[in-house]
Amino acid sequence: MSGSGVSLQDLVHAALANLAGEKWAVSDAGPHVPARPGLYAIYGDETAWSELELTPVPTAPLYVGKAEESLASRDLDGHFALSSSSSARTGSSTVRRSFAALLKHALDLRGMPRNPEKPERFANYGLAGDGDSRLNAWMRSRLSLAIWEAPYAMSVPLRLVEAQVIAHYAPPINIAGNPHKLARLSRARAVMASEASAFLGS
C-alpha cells in the first residue's frame, strides 16, 4: 500500500489498530516481522509486569519503538538476538537498558561499560558477566510483539507517528517522548550507569 498523501492521523490510527492486534511470543515472532520500516510494540505477561514492579495494564504495551530501515534487524536482532548471526547487547539497546534497570535485583544484573577497553558514555551501560544471557531468557519467556509495517512511499516521517503512539499509550518503559514522568525508571537507570562508571575500579 502506498503511503503518499495519507495523513498523519490516518497513519496513527492504522498503527494503533495493528499494535493492539495480533501479537506473537518473542521466540515465535521471526516469520512475522519483516525487513521493512515500521513500529513495534513490546507487551508483557502478568508475571513480567509483576517482576518489573509496574502496575499492570494488560492491554497496553510496555514499550513502543520504531525501525527506520528494518523491523527484523532492529527488533528481533537488536533487542532479542533471535537470528543465529545476531547477538543482542544491552549497551546498544535503550529498551534493554530499561528492562535491565528494573530487573536488576530480580535477575541479579550489574552495570558495566559497554566497551570496557574504552569506558565512556556510562548511561549506555552494558551488563556484566552473563547478564545479557539472563536478560535474553527473561525477555523471550515473558514478552510478546506486535508490529505495524509502514506503507511504501510514506510521506510522513515515521518519528511523528511513533511520537503520537507513545503519547497515546504512555508505555512505562519509554523514557523519550513519554507524557508521564518515569522517575523510578530514571533512578534505576542511573544506578546502573553509576555501576558502569565504577566497574573498572571494583
pLDDT in tens, 143-159: 999 999 999 989 999 99
Q: Is the pLDDT of residue 6 over 80?
A: yes
User: Amino acid identity of 74?
Assistant: R
Summarize the confidence of residues 189-194 as an average pLDDT: 94
* More confident call, 75 vs 33: 33
- Runs of H (alpha helix) within the chain: 8-19, 46-51, 71, 94-102, 131-142, 158-169, 183-198
Q: Is the pLDDT of residue 85 over 80?
A: no
Q: Tell me what pLDDT residue 153 has.
A: 86
Q: Is the pLDDT of residue 174 over 90?
A: yes
Q: Per the confidence metrics, is the pTM higher than 0.75?
A: yes
Cα 6 to Cα 170: distance, rounded to the nearest angstrom: 25
Q: How many residues does the chain have?
A: 202
Q: Residue 132's CB: how many other CB atoms inside 10 A?
A: 21
Confidence class of residue 113 from pLDDT cuts 50, 70 and 90? confident
Residue 106 Cα distances to 1, 2, 168, angstroms: 44, 45, 29
Cα 145 to Cα 79: distance, rounded to the nearest angstrom: 11
Q: Is the pLDDT of residue 166 over 90?
A: yes
* More confident call, 200 vs 193: 193
- Only one residue has cell 497513519, namely 11
Chain centroid to Cα 93, Å, comes to: 7
Q: Is the pLDDT of residue 91 over 80?
A: no
Instruction: Write out the three cell numbers for 137.
Output: 531468557
Q: Which of 26-30, 85-89, 160-164 has the lowest mean pLDDT?
A: 85-89
Cα 202 to Cα 197: distance, rounded to the nearest angstrom: 10
Neighbour-count burial for 78-117, b at 16+ CB within 10 Å, e otherwise: bbbbbeeeeebebbebbbbbbbbbbbbeebebbbbbbeee
Instruction: Write out the three cell numbers for 28.
Output: 515465535
